[in-house]
Every structure is written in structure tokens, then in C-alpha cells.
Structure 1
């Protein structure tokens, strides 16, 4: 067996481990079904050779009764088998999607940006069912079909050795053809999955840029891009159909050959009365029982190639996350502040900034300015632990950020991004986002910042849809702002937060920040020359300078 097959099944076992007991029950049920299926031709042989040939009506009805009981038992087992594997399948879909989702949430943002959002959505929604289709029942089915082939061969061999040998030769040629086609099937399935991801990426991209497409009349460009992606997807599917049809054509000839042999050779033997009619009928049925599992296995093989591709992509994602398995320190509150020691960071070895040295204590307002591309958002990502410095250290209360539990750190930090991100949910749930916060506090803040007032019809239970498309830009920004400050975090980061809010709201905000500055670090990314806040540290990334107002000291980055 090839190395990748062994590797696939070792990973397969790790995923299926929680469901082993139910898989075993399913295996036993299918074994029973297989036994009952193999019993039917034998009963038919008895009916022809003993009941009909001897004109024994009593024996005939006895065999017919047994035949009916076997049929009903098999149907009952089939219903139970469908229930077991449907249960395992649905549980697996849920578990794998959640594993994939959690792995993506723990990945570095740079790694995620290498893949489009559409591809990630495709991986969760489209590729997981391909994996589950193979894992939940198919792998057990492979064992059953092998068992079925073996048991049928033994029975056929006991009835007629020559036909049994013919079946083995036929099976060998089927294996040779399958082995020849496997690499091509795997390659075409890889292409199809990539093409589907491209289609999803294009849809997501066009929907995200819908306004600019409408404003600038970029309809032809967007449509052409989507059309190209669809055509590549269709061409990939046609290539797959062409290859699969060629594969199935060769196999169908090999499936037909044993039936031709049994009709000619077996018919000749029956005419010479060297075998009974019942034996010939049984042989003909057993040949189908032998070839049907092989046909099922060849069809499974086509799905198996797609499953390998999808499963390897899944396993690469869930095994290569940035989740830290070490015992990390938890910090409940910040007592001193943030320290940057010789921090450097860049993309592709092009540094945005080098050797930043800075102490930011509590009760401090930091303003970050700079032209686009100078690293303002990158610096914030470093402070939040989303990115890791190329050189140097970031410390919180003297603890290296890499040694701090990220969940505890993120409870201390809140950010108001330049671009608002809202969920399809109520206003109150968009502010809470799963946190246990008293709704009275939320309502008071909503009134203070005039998110809820007599001029609009909003209340805490008002729905927000499509990232706030049903409310104004200013109201969206207020929800984002309240989400950040409602839990009273010690570090608040505002990234061009005032873009959509009016002067009145801006003044309310500055007043609130001045009143609640104690015990906090407030970081403001802004192009505004003047803030209605006393700025303690001014970082100008365009000039690569840090200006500390208290000491009027300038440090070169």
C-alpha cells in the first residue's frame, strides 16, 4: 500500500475516533445485510432444484416464506444502517466545520489573506461534505464490499472452479485499469476544487465591491471576471466527465465479460445436464454479487480521489494553526502599561519600522499618524498580538506578549476599526457580542451617544442587516464605538473612528474619554491635526519619529 494511503487512513482514524462504536455497530449491521444478500441466490437454487423440479408445493411455499423473511429482515437492517450513518455523517459535518472554523480563527491574518474569503467559505461549506461522504460509511462500505467479494468467490469456487478463476482474472484487469486512471482522477479533482474556490472568491469580491461597481460602472469588468471563473469551472467538470466516462467504458466491458461467459459456458453445461438450472441461476446471480461490489469500489475510488484532496486541505488547515499549546500567563488587569523593546516589523524583509523603543503607561493618550502604507494598522496589530514582531519584544506589565494567554489579553483591549463590522442581529447583540453586560448600561450609553433618540426609530431590539445597510453610516459607527467602550477595557484603540460621526457625537465622545481616561491607555489613529484630547505621546510613522510631550523628547525609530 502506498505511503499516502497509509497516511490518509491514519488521519482518517484520528477524525473518526469519537464515532468508532457506532461505526462498529454499522459494520455489524452491514455484515448481516451482506449475509442475507448472499443467502438469496442459494434459496433461489433450492426453489428450482428441489421444489419446482420435484413439484413439491409444500417445499415451494416454505422456501418462498424464508425468501420473504430474509427480504424483510434485510429491509429492516437497511433502515437502521441508514439511520446510523446519517447520524455519524451529520455529526461529522458539524464537528469538521467547527474544527475548520476554529482553526481559521486561530490563524495568522497574513496567512488568511493569502487565501480569498470565497475559498475559505468553499472549504467549510463545500469540501467538508466531500470528506464526510467518504468517512461516514464509505470506508466501512469498502471493508464490506471486500468481504462480499471474498465470500462470493468462495461460493462460486465451490460451484464451478473455472468460472471462479475467470472472475479473478477479470478482477485483476479491473485493478490494472483503476491503478492507471487514479493519478489522473486525483489531478482533475484537485483542479475542480480550486476552480470552485475561484468562483466563490470572485462572487465574494464582486459583492464586497458592489457599490464601487455601481458608482464607476465597472459592470463589464466584474461580469467578465466572473464569466472567466465560471468557464474554468465548467471546463474542469467536462474534463472530469470525459475522463470518468472513458474509465467507466473500459470497466463496463470487463463487467460484461463474465456474464457472457456464464451464459455461453454455463448454458452449454446446463444443456449437457452437467449442472442444474438452479446452479446456473445461482452462478449468474453470484457473478453479479461478485461484480457489483467491484463496481461499487471503482465508483468509490472516483469519490476517494476527491476525498483525498479535500481531506488533505482540511488537515493542513487544522494542523497548521497559530494556537499556542504552552501554559500561558493570564492577566486580569493592567497595572503598569505596555513596553516596546527594539520592535521591528516588515513584509517580505521590507521593514515598515525598525527598533521602536517606547513605554506607554496607564492614563496615557497615544496618537499615531502617518501616510497610507506606513504601518499604522500594522503597529496596532502588533500591540493586539495579531502579528508577531520580526525582532524585539512587546511586554504587558513586564510579561512578553508571546507568553500571555491571548483570550485574557483581548479582554483588556477594545478596538473601533475604521471600517465598521456589524452582524445580522439586534443592536443590543451587536454591542454585547456574546458578553454578559447589563442592558441598562447599554441603553444609557446609547442615549448618551444619541444612538437611540426621538429623531430615529431605533431601539435595542432593532435589527441590523447586511453590515448596517438599513441604518446610517454614523449609526453604524456609534454601534462599533459603544461595542468597544461598554465593557470598560483598559486599552482602547480608535482607528480613524471619526470618519462617519458628526461633530456633536465627536464632542460627546471626547468628553466621555476625558472623564474616563483614568487607568486606561487610549490609542488614536487619526489624520486630524487637533484632537479634543490631551495627547501624551505622538507617533508619526511618516517621519519615523516618536514625540513624547512630557519631556519634549524626540526619539528616532
Structure 2
């Protein structure tokens, strides 16, 4: 398959998916399209009304007139009444035939039949000459004054007034339908984009955690906001212009063929030119728009990263480097935007004007000149209607061409959105399971994020109510064990069971429902303190929220806040101290009543006074639960039932604090180093301990 075939196939798939989304608001779209068809019909009626007015009532006075005795519907001239031939009733008597013929800007009265009015006309010395090819006819003629000419127009006025009224009615219908179609199309588009954006966000909630390791948050945000907004333009502007344009052009061609088949056939050249034009335009535009959308996504990513890390940027004086990185992306974005601008300038409105002018020149040169010199290929009314319709046809073409940029941007953006939605997500299983006891067992578990194993043959058992501490230097595998427990990842080898049941047999949502976590740097959401405890879970009452906060001692640390537990929390809890944020995180875990609790060095950022305050709360929090503690400060885990010492993905020591101290191994050395003493180290271990100390800078193990 060639690249072009692949592109066509991809766009076909994107179009089908967009069409399925459009079906979610099909009723509104159908209503808009019906209004569109009615509006086009009403608008295109205008040229036909004008044609009738010109041919039947303005230029129609050149038809034969006959003397009559009936005053109604007749014109008076020199004391005699004359009625046009098509105004006589059946059986009504006709008298002498007369004709009114125009030459230049004046009309002349000929008191006899005229064989042929088509041709070149001239008046001189009371004689009107009509020349056609090699023929020449002459008739005695009398010039008509304005008052006399108006007498012949008087019978036409009622019909002209009716046509003007009909034109105004069509104009009113067109105005109403334009409003209706615009409103319903945009309403349907908003509904479709709401559905698309909701689906994208819901899918993000199902994506595995490792997906976000490789895609910056700013790029994800860009796809949910900027790209879906660009897709909205497809339904609002592009669909509106293309659908109305297609209906309008179809209506114009029908009208052109009804007017004159020859004129309709000549006008067909516009369609293939428009198709070729669109293909060539999109060949270049897609390439530019792909880069533009990618750069916009990268710009969002760097802005998000800079805001999150503003303190680090300023402390290490990286403002200039960050600014240069941003400017490089922004410059490339602008360069491709300018390429799109040049492409649009060359290929949109200007080219439509060229096509329109060529069409007008051809039609007016061939048909108009013949009509004006009396050759009579088409009537003046038909020519006027045709020029009017042709001008109207290029209006939607201009609208369609001007939307080609938005069309291509929308397709590129839709592709990016659907690529995100095509990422494999976690299966969502409705329902739940009873709260399990929390007996956890790892059996010969080995795990690798990519190729190299970060956990090797891990085996241990944690019974309900026990506290298991995980210690070891950075990269030893502590966090990987927790990731496996939460099923953010599944091991390549071995089995993890809870209450004897393999975790891979339990739906992830059910498994996590009875797990809680307290992070070293807890994450708080915008809202209030109370909402950050319940996280909006309707099963957690206000009383439970307040009780959880009191149980962890938060009522004492948060008592000074003006609104108490309803105090607003800004993004990430930036207005609260580390201790306050940690207490709220503890209360959150307590309110959800998990069977398995993970504490990721939950007291590392707490001052000594606050730590003493929550030690009792920790005991309350751990009671009856299986608790895993990732420990950096070993003094906080002395009471743990089990301590697992990890080194390069393996459990090298296992036991209680006292057992490991008696063992005198790696744990013993780490503990002594953190206590600031090497006096009790076994003989010959000082060098190893000193090396370990370099890894423990800042208290990290």
C-alpha cells in the first residue's frame, strides 16, 4: 500500500468515526439540513422571480398587442385600448395587431404586425429598421412618451407587485432558515464535541499508569482541549459550509439546467476544478497541520512543566535556558503557521475570484453579446437569472474553500484524538467485591519494566493486621512492589495473591477499592479540606469525614483556619503546610477504610512535633489492616512485624527490627549510620558502612 493509499484509508476511518459521533445528534443535524434545503430553495427562487419579472412583465411589452373593447387589463393609446395577446380570455374578440419595439433607450409604436423583432434595431425619419443577418425590415413607427409607455406598463403592475411580495416572502424564509440551520448545526456540534471530550477523558481514566510515564501531561491536556476544539470547528464551521455549499451548488445546477441546458453544461467545469483543487490543497496542508498540532502540544507540555517546576527553575537560574527552549518550539510553530498562511493566501479566496471572473467572461461574451445584439440565443431575463445564479454558486464555493484549512486541521486533530482513544485501556468491570481480609503473599515474583528485571524472585507473606516495612537504597525495588500490589503493572513471573486469590483474577477496580495510600508528598485537589477527604464519594458522609480528621489529630492543626474543614484548597494544597497536607491525606485513607494500606514514608516531611502528633493516629490507621511502609527513616519502622531489606531487586534480609539488628547485616549498618554512630559496627565493616553513608545523603535509603 502506498503512502497516499494509507492516508486515504486513515482519513476514511477517521471520517467513519466522526460520522458515528455525529449520529449521537442526528435528529438535530437532520433538522438543520432540512432547514438548509428549505432556505436554499427559498433563496434560489429569487433569480426565477427576477427572470419572470424581466421576461414576462418588463420586456414582455414587446409581444403582440391587439385592439380591444375591454377596458380592464388594457392599455389606452390615442383613444384606443390595446391588450397583450396572452391577456385575452378564451373567445374574446381581437382587433388590429400592433407592436411596441425598443431601440436604444426608447420604445416605438408600430401600427401593424412585425414579422420578427430579433435583430439590430435603428430608428430614423419615422421608420424603424430591424436587421437580422442579411434580412432588413422597415416599419413606420411613432416614438412613445414616458406617459404613453407607462400606460402599457400599468396592466403589468399588479403581477409585478405580487412577484415583489413573493420575493420578500422568500427572503424572509431564507433569513429564518439561516438562523435555524446555524443554531441547530452549532447545537449539534456542541453536543457531539461534549460526547467526544467526555469519551476521551473517560478513556484517559482507563489508561494504564505506565502510559503517562511516556507522555507529558501537557500533551494529554492539549489533545483533550485544543484538538477536540479543532474537531468542533469541523462540525460547526466546516460541516455548515460544506453541507450548505453542497446543497446550494446542487440547487444552483438544477436551476441552471431548468433555465437553459446549454448554460448548465458550460457551468459544470467548476466541479472537477473544485475537486482537484481540494486534493492538491490538502496534500500540502496536512503536512503543515500535523507539525502545527504537534508543536502546539509540545508548547503546552513545556508550559505545564515550567509552571510545575517554577521554583526549581528559579533556584537553579534556568529561566534563560527554559525560555530558549520555549522560543525554539514557538518559532517552529510560527514558521509552519506562516506556511499555512501562504498556502491559504494563494489558494483560497483569490482563486475563487479567478474562476468566477472566467465564468462570467465566457458566459457574457458568448451568450450576452448575442442577446444584446438581438441574436436571441437566450433571453435577457434568462441571462440575468443565469449571472445571478452563477454569482450565488461561487458564494458557497468561497465558503467551502475558505474552510479547507479548518477541514484539514480538524482531520489532523481528530486523528490525534482517536490515536489517544485507541491506546489500550484497562477493562472496566462494574460492581464490586466484599472487603477482603488483606492477607498478601508474593510467590517467586520477578518483574521488569522493559528488559532488565527490577524485582527478582521476591517471596514474602503479610498477614491481616501486620505491618511490613520495605527498606533499601533508591532503585532497590520498593516502589515496584507497591506498583505490582496496586496492579499498575503485572509481574512476568510468579504469583501475587490476596486471601489466597491471585490478583490477576480480580478486576483492578475491585482490587483497588479496598486499598489506600498515603504518599510522602500528598496530592490535594482543588476544593475544600472536607472534599479532599471524601474525594466526592457519596458513600462517605460528612460525619465520617469529620471523624477521620479528628482521629488523625487534624482538628488541632487545622483549627485556626477561618472556615475550618470547609477551608478552600488551591491546586495541590499550596496554601497549606506539609504537615497539614499530610494529615488530610491520613484522614482520606482512614475515611475510605481500606483493607490494605500503603504508607510511602508518610512522615518524612513532617516536623518532629507534628510527627509525634500523628504517631498515635498511625496506630489507629493501621489497626486491623495490612500495612506496607516504604521507609527511609528506619526509626519509624521499629515496631513493624516484618522488615524486608531490598538490594538490586532482591530481598537480602527479612525479619523484625530486633532480629535484623542481631543479624548485624545490611539493615544493621543502615540503622547505625542513621543514628550517627559506627561504634557498634561489626569488625571489618567500617569501609562498607562508609560507602553506604554516601548513598544515604539526605536520609534516603
Structure 2 CA distance for aligned equivalents of residues 252 and 349 of structure 1: 61
1:426 aligned to which of 528, 535, 541: 528
Matched residues in 1 for 2:327 and 2:297: separation?
14
The question of whether the paired residues in 1 share the 8 Å contact of 2:41 and 2:251 is answered with: no
Moved more, 274-283 or 299-308: 299-308
2:339 to 215, 221, 239: 239
Looking at structure 2, the residues matched to 214 and 457 of structure 1 have their Cα atoms a distance apart, in angstroms, of 30
Change (3 A) 1:363 1:235: same
CA spacing shift, 1:178–1:80, aligned 2, 3 Å = closer
How far does residue 143 in structure 1 lie from its aligned partner after superposition? 4.5
- 1:521 maps to 2:626: yes
Report how far residue 460 of structure 1 moved: 0.7
2: CA distance, partners of 1:507 / 1:138: 64
Is structure 2 residue 362 aligned with structure 1 residue 362?
Answer: no
Residues in 1 aligned to 2:281 and 2:178: alpha-carbon distance in whole angstroms = 32
Q: Which residue of 2 aligns with 1:52?
A: 58
Shift of 1:286: 1.3
Q: Residues 452 and 345 of structure 1: is their aligned pair in 2 closer, same or farther, counting only changes over 3 Å?
A: same
Choose 353-362 or 3-12, whichever is displaced more.
Answer: 3-12
Deviates more, 1:194-203 or 1:527-536: 527-536
Alignment of 1:379-458 (within 5 A): 379-435=481-537, 436-453=539-556, 456-457=560-561
Contact 2:548 2:587 survives alignment (8 Å): yes
Quote the offset at 1:138 in angstroms. 4.1
Higher alpha-carbon Rg: 2
Does residue 1:78 correspond to 2:84, yes or no? no
1:328 and 1:405 in contact (8 A); partners too: no
Alpha-carbon spacing, 1:246–1:523, altered in 2? closer, same or farther (3 Å): same
CA distance in 2, matches of 1:367, 1:166: 86
Aligned partner (choices 575, 581, 584) of residue 476 of structure 1: 581
Q: What's the counterpart of residue 404 of structure 2?
A: 301
C-alpha change, 1:52 and 1:410, in structure 2 (3 Å) is same
The correspondence for 2:328, drawn from 228, 237, 241, is 228
2:384 paired residue number: 281
Give the SS at the match of 1:534: coil
Question: Deviations for 1:195-214, whole angstroms, at most 9, x for unmatched residues?
Answer: 11011011101101111122
- 2:44 corresponds, among 38, 42, 57, to 38
CA-CA distance at 1:349 after TM superposition: 0.3
- Secondary structure of the structure 1 residue equivalent to 2:279: helix
Give SS of 1:498's match: coil
1:290 to 1:515, Cα distance in 2 relative to 1, 3 A: closer
1:533 and 1:438 map into 2 onto residues whose CA distance is 35
- Are the counterparts in 1 of residues 24 and 192 from structure 2 also a CA contact under 8 Å? no
Pairing of 1:72-471 with structure 2 (within 5 A): 72-135=172-235, 138-139=238-239, 142-248=242-348, 249-273=350-374, 274=376, 275-324=378-427, 330-335=432-437, 337-435=439-537, 436-453=539-556, 456-457=560-561, 459-471=564-576
- Worse overlay, 232-241 or 451-460: 451-460
Give the direction of change, closer, same or farther, for the CA distance of 1:266–1:482 in structure 2 (3 Å limit): same
Q: Displacement of 1:496 after TM fit?
A: 1.9
Q: Is the 8 A contact 1:134 1:307 kept in 2?
A: yes
Worse overlay, 351-360 or 123-132: 351-360
**Deviation readout 1:337-373 (Å, 9 max, x if unpaired):** 1222332222320211122222222111111122223
Residues 418 and 497 in structure 1, CA contact (< 8 A), matched pair in contact too: yes
CA deviation vs aligned residue, 1:477-509 (integer Å, no higher than 9, x gap) = 211221112222111111121122222332343
Could you tell me how far apart the structure 2 residues matched to 1:92 and 1:122 are?
18
Please give the alpha-carbon distance, in whole angstroms, between the structure 1 residues aligned to 2:294 and 2:185: 29
**Unpaired runs of 5+ in structure 2?**
62-152, 664-701
User: 2:299 touches 2:329 (CA, 8 Å); kept in 1?
Assistant: yes
Pairwise CA RMSD: 2.6
Q: CA deviation at 1:70?
A: 0.8
Q: Is the 8 A contact 1:428 1:442 kept in 2?
A: yes
- The answer to whether the aligner puts 1:491 opposite 2:568 as a matched pair is no
User: Displacement, 1:82?
Assistant: 2.3
1:384–1:547 distance in 2 versus 1, CA, 3 Å: same
**Structure 1 residue 441 displacement after superposition:** 3.5
Please give the per-residue CA displacement for 1:356-411, whole angstroms capped at 9, x wherever unaligned: 22222211111112222333223212111222223333222233323322222222
1:510·1:533 contact (CA, 8 Å) conserved in 2? no
Q: How many pairs does the alignment contain?
A: 554
Mapped contact 2:446–2:453 kept (Cα < 8 A): yes
Distance 1:8 1:58, change over 3 A: same
Query: Structure 2 CA distance, aligned partners of 1:402 and 1:328?
Result: 17
Any idea what SS the aligned residue of 2:555 has?
coil
Q: Which moved more, 1:512-521 or 1:92-101?
A: 512-521
Q: When the two structures are superposed, what TM-score results if normalisation uses the length of structure 1? A: 0.92
Q: Distance in 2 between matches of 1:87 and 1:387?
A: 42
Separation of aligned partners in 1, 2:470 and 2:641: 11
CA contact (8 A) 1:537 1:546 kept: no
8 Å CA contact 2:206–2:425 kept in 1: the answer is yes
Does structure 1 conserve the Cα–Cα contact (< 8 Å) formed by 2:448 and 2:492?
Answer: yes
**CA distance, structure 1, for counterparts of residue 438 and residue 451 of structure 2:** 33
Pick closer, same or farther for the CA change 1:90–1:164 going to 2, 3 Å: same
Looking at secondary structure, tell me which structure has more helix per residue. 1
Change (3 A) 1:229 1:3: closer
Residues 300 and 215 of structure 1: is their aligned pair in 2 closer, same or farther, counting only changes over 3 Å? same
SS of equivalent residue, structure 2 residue 210:
helix
Greater displacement, 525-534 / 456-465: 525-534
Q: TM-score, normalised by structure 2?
A: 0.74
Query: CA 1:516 to 1:494, structure 2 compared with 1: closer, same or farther past 3 Å?
Result: closer
2:34 aligns with one of 28, 35, 45: 28
Distance 1:246 1:402, change over 3 A: farther
Preserved CA contact (<8 Å) 1:331 1:404: no
